[in-house]
């Protein structure tokens, strides 16, 4: 059976690098003929299932068995034969993990005292309970025999997003950790941060998620933000100082591996460094690559898709550049590596600022100045290339057509969140951004600010709304500090809490994404069904219950308790009955 060139090629090219990371199991889970054969047989409804299964023998032995199996089937096994091979050689997915109840969990964290409405308070308690369902610990065997698994061993237990996501995810962890801190689970939060730091020490950067098959891509670099959150909560400056070496390393990794030149400035793009289709969505990627006719073009397409996954926004029209230079299109128009993203550069600016702040804590003035200078350079580049005077907002920049991309995406507002602008321009920026929001009618959606305004069916497009970006936008408007921006921020914050509550009240679930068009509606689209759990959603709500809980009341909002609709129905029926009786009485008394 003909295997595409990239299967063999990627195995050779990547092996050397992976060896240094000691991900021996990559030959099974990241690339190569076994992965190709099994994933193209589409044995499971969700392609991620296979790459999360445990090996029964070592990777080398499994490859030997696979080669013998293929030879015995003339390199053309049927799907049933492939299924049997998988059953014989792999164990169930997820068996490497145990559900773990966090040891620092407390029943009534103090943030609950800040919540007035009894239904919201109960919800806060429910969310605090959900941490126990999302806790996972690796079994000892993972540490003893890591090559039998796709999971990346880490020393401490983690809180996972939930649903199909049973391992840590890099940027999700930022909002999870903040939620844990509000729930007073400092040890769990610190353990998760230390896991990520240990990964930087071992492999140089933090992959997209805790599996070897994510090894060629990262996610928005929020480790420094996590350490800062921990230190702001605990005042543990020593932790900040000890983290410095790793934070600098991660920052330099991002800059060195993602940099581009735009209008004479150094900026960063999302850019994956592996080969082949995404292992966890292998056949899906092979199928979208069918419209490309050479191995090279297919390989480029895979890179664009994995780079989009690195952005965390997989997938979205945000990454499309069609031949006319617009965002109209589909996945085959993904050109992620040619789009300078506002959020990534704002986050890198924030990284440099945090590192400078921690050096100041350590009393290291030279290093502080060095990182302040790096931050200022990124800020200048953001101002020169990404700020758009006409639009009144920051816009992603298209390197192919050398022009700004004037499409709304929530991440356009990311600089507000991390203050990546000249503070002396605050009033002007606030006014511009507010009119940008009005022009794009962003205040008209009952279920939150949609990620984009273009409906493509991809999960990071209209009408989906995601907690992390809702957080970035709403906290950004609060951070800029003008009364008008703060007013809008508060109204959107309240709306998000009430809308998430309505969804929870109706389904008893917290969702990965929501629906901008429906108050209380969950999101959909993309390549897998909407997931429940859900780490970052819960983290954002817990933080906002602490922030707004004293002033939100559910009465008269449509988000009141489970019986609100029933109560209103009862009310209408009662008024109708009273009206009917009164009518009859008047009729009898006056007209008969």
Contacting residues toward ligand LLGJG24Q, per CB under 6 A = 48, 161, 165, 169, 171-172, 208-209, 278, 280-281, 309, 312, 314
The least distance separating ligand LLGJG24Q from the CB of residue 45, rounded to whole angstroms, comes to 13
| Complex with ligand LLGJG24Q: residue 314 or 475, whichever CB lies closer | 314
Q: Which residues pair with 461 in a beta bridge?
A: none
Alpha helices (H) in 440-553, listed in sequence order: 467-480, 483-507, 535-548
The least distance separating ligand LLGJG24Q from the CB of residue 126, rounded to whole angstroms, comes to 20
The backbone region for 138, taken as left when phi is positive above 0, alpha when psi lies in -120 to 50, beta otherwise, is beta
C-alpha pair distances (Å), 29 with each of 3, 39, 175, 240, 520: 17, 10, 28, 35, 38
| Complex with ligand LLGJG24Q: residue 411 or 432, whichever CB lies closer | 411
What lies within 8 Å, CB to CB, of 431 at 6+ separation is 482, 484
Q: Point out the catalytic residue in the list 96, 304, 314, 478.
A: 314
512 is catalytic: yes
248 is catalytic: no
SS3 state of residue 32 = coil
The least distance separating ligand LLGJG24Q from the CB of residue 46, rounded to whole angstroms, comes to 8
Q: Point out the catalytic residue in the list 478, 512, 515, 543.
A: 512
C-alpha pair distances (Å), 240 with each of 137, 171, 247, 347: 25, 19, 10, 18
| Complex with ligand LLGJG24Q: residue 274 or 499, whichever CB lies closer | 274
Q: Which residues pair with 211 in a beta bridge?
A: 151
What lies within 8 Å, CB to CB, of 162 at 6+ separation is 133, 134, 512, 531, 532, 533, 534, 535
Q: Give the span between the Cα atoms of 343 and 333, in whole angstroms.
A: 21
The least distance separating ligand LLGJG24Q from the CB of residue 309, rounded to whole angstroms, comes to 4
| Complex with ligand LLGJG24Q: residue 162 or 520, whichever CB lies closer | 162
Q: Give the span between the Cα atoms of 147 and 11, in whole angstroms.
A: 17
Sign of CA dihedral 273, 276, 281, 284: positive
The least distance separating ligand LLGJG24Q from the CB of residue 282, rounded to whole angstroms, comes to 10
The least distance separating ligand LLGJG24Q from the CB of residue 139, rounded to whole angstroms, comes to 22
| Complex with ligand LLGJG24Q: residue 299 or 461, whichever CB lies closer | 461
| Complex with ligand LLGJG24Q: residue 269 or 381, whichever CB lies closer | 269
Supply the residues annotated as catalytic.
314, 512
């Amino acid at each position: 059976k003909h295997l595409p060139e990239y299967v063999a090629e990627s195995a050779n090219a990547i092996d050397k690098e992976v060896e240094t990371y000691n991900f021996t199991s990559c030959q099974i889970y990241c690339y190569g003929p076994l992965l190709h054969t099994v994933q193209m047989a589409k044995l499971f409804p969700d392609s991620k299932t296979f790459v999360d299964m445990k090996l029964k023998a070592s990777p080398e032995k499994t490859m030997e068995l696979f080669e013998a199996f293929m030879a015995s089937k003339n390199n053309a096994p049927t799907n049933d034969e492939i299924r049997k091979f998988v059953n014989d050689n792999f164990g169930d997915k997820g068996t490497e993990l145990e559900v773990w109840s966090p040891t620092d969990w407390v029943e009534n964290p103090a943030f609950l005292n800040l919540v007035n409405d009894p239904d919201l308070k109960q919800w806060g308690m429910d969310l605090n309970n959900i941490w126990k369902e999302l806790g996972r610990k690796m079994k000892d065997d993972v540490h003893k025999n890591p090559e039998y698994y796709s999971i990346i061993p880490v020393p401490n237990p983690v809180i996972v997003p939930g649903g199909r996501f049973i391992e840590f995810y890099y940027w999700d962890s930022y909002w999870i950790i903040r939620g844990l801190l509000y729930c007073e689970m400092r040890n769990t939060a610190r353990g998760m941060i230390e896991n990520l730091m240990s990964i930087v020490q071992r492999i140089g950067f933090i992959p997209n998620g805790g599996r070897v098959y994510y090894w060629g891509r990262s996610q928005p670099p929020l480790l420094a933000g996590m350490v800062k959150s921990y230190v702001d909560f605990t005042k543990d400056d020593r932790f900040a100082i000890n983290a410095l070496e790793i934070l600098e390393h991660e920052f330099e990794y991002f800059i060195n591996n993602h940099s581009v030149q735009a209008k004479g400035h150094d900026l960063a793009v999302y850019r994956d460094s592996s080969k082949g289709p995404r292992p966890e969505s292998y056949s899906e990627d092979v199928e979208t690559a069918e419209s490309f006719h050479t191995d090279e073009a297919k390989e480029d397409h895979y890179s664009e898709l994995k780079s989009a996954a690195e952005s965390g926004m997989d997938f979205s029209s945000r990454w499309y550049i069609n031949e006319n230079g617009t965002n109209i299109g589909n996945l085959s128009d993904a050109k992620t590596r040619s789009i300078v993203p506002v959020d990534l550069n704002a986050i890198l600016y924030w990284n440099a600022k945090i590192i400078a702040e921690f050096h100041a804590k350590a009393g290291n003035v030279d290093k502080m100045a060095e990182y302040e200078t790096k931050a200022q350079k990124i800020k200048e580049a953001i101002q020169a290339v990404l700020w758009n005077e006409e639009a009144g907002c920051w816009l992603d920049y298209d390197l192919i057509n050398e022009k700004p991309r004037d499409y709304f995406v929530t991440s356009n507002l990311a600089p507000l969140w991390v203050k990546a602008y000249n503070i002396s321009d605050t009033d002007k920026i606030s006014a511009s951004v507010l009119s940008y929001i009005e022009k794009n009618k962003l205040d008209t959606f009952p279920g939150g600010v949609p990620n984009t305004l273009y409906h493509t069916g991809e999960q990071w497009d209209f009408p989906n709304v995601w907690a992390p970006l809702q957080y970035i936008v709403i906290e950004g408007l609060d951070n800029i500090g003008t009364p008008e921006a703060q007013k809008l921020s508060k109204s959107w914050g309240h709306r998000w809490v009430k809308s998430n509550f309505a969804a929870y009240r109706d389904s008893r679930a917290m969702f990965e994404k929501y629906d901008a068009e429906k108050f209380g509606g969950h999101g959909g689209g993309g390549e897998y069904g909407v997931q429940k759990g859900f780490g970052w959603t819960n983290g954002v709500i817990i933080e906002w219950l602490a922030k707004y809980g004293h002033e939100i009341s559910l009465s008269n909002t449509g988000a009141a308790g489970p019986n609100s609709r029933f109560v209103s129905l009862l009310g209408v029926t009662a008024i109708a009955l009273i009206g009917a009786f009164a009518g009859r009485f008047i009729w009898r008394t006056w007209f008969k």
